[in-house]
């Protein structure tokens, strides 16, 4: 049996790492928290520590309440009232990762699934002349997916570090890792954090 050939990743000195929504709300909130988030902290930490100047962070910011949310977001917060700001949901980045966030200007808040909703993020990516985005964080089948699809629409290559993303729905996580890189095989790539760092200049 021969080893599977290593995929050549489209990584350059201009590539950027975006850590998606690694927040307290998704770790400890009674309605949205899940223990699996902690399993990917070491891999994210390794990647962020290796590329500190190329790492950006996003935070999903819940609505204050369902009453002030718009459209289908109101329905979401009626279903999950404990995840609202008025219920005390915590938006902070996980304490285990916070020491790696050395510049607050590299944190981008958003009220939606896609990280690109905050116009400051695409502006910063353009300023940095980004070509490829390495997306870590959560959830593979929600906010990471939404960010991935918009990134591809905007012309970026995307690399998914398979040991640095996860979901509270592991079936959904596995389906995304199976389907998206296969269907978008010239634009989206999967690799481990170690493989990414081996190829990232």
Kindly report, residue by residue over 89-101, the tens digit of the pLDDT: 999 999 999 999 9
Mean pLDDT of 58-70: 98
Mean pLDDT, range 22-47, rounded to an integer: 98
pLDDT at 6: 77
| Averaged confidence pLDDT in the chain | 97
What backbone phi and psi angles, to 5 degrees, belong to 59? -130, 130
3-state secondary structure of 172: helix
Summarize the confidence of residues 81-87 as an average pLDDT: 98
Whether pLDDT at 144 is above 90: yes
Residue 84 pLDDT > 70, yes or no? yes
Give the mean pLDDT of 57-78. Answer: 98
Q: What's this model's pTM, rounded to 2 decimal places? A: 0.97
What's the pLDDT score for residue 4?
60
Q: State pLDDT tens for residues 174-193.
A: 999 999 999 999 999 999 99
pLDDT of 7 higher than 90:
no
Residue 46 contacts by C-beta under 8 Å, 6 or more apart in sequence? 193, 197
CA 174 to chain centre: 16
Model confidence over 102-124: pLDDT tens digits?
A: 999 999 999 999 999 999 999 99
| Nearest-angstrom CA–CA distance, 166 and 91 | 18
**Does 1 have pLDDT greater than 60?**
no
- For range 37-43, the mean pLDDT: 98
Close Cβ partners of 179 (under 8 Å, ≥ 6 residues apart) = none
Confidence of residue 5 (pLDDT cuts 50, 70, 90): low
At 3 the pLDDT is 59
């Amino acid at each position: 049996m021969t080893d599977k050939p290593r995929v050549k990743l489209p990584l350059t000195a201009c590539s950027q790492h975006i850590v998606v929504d690694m927040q307290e709300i998704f770790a400890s909130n009674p309605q949205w928290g899940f223990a699996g988030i902690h399993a990917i902290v070491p891999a994210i930490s390794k990647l962020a520590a290796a590329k500190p100047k190329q790492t950006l962070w996003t935070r999903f910011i819940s609505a204050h309440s369902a009453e002030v949310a718009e459209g289908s977001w109101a329905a979401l917060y009626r279903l999950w009232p404990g995840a609202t700001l008025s219920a005390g949901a915590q938006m902070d980045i996980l304490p285990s990762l916070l020491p790696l966030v050395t510049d607050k200007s590299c944190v981008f808040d958003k009220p939606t699934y896609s990280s690109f909703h905050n116009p400051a993020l695409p502006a910063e990516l353009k300023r940095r002349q980004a070509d490829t985005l390495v997306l870590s964080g959560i959830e593979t089948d929600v906010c990471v997916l939404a960010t991935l699809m918009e990134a591809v629409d905007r012309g970026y290559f995307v690399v998914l570090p398979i040991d640095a993303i996860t979901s509270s729905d592991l079936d959904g996580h596995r389906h995304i890792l199976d389907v998206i890189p296969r269907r978008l095989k010239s634009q989206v790539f999967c690799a481990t954090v170690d493989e990414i760092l081996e190829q990232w200049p």
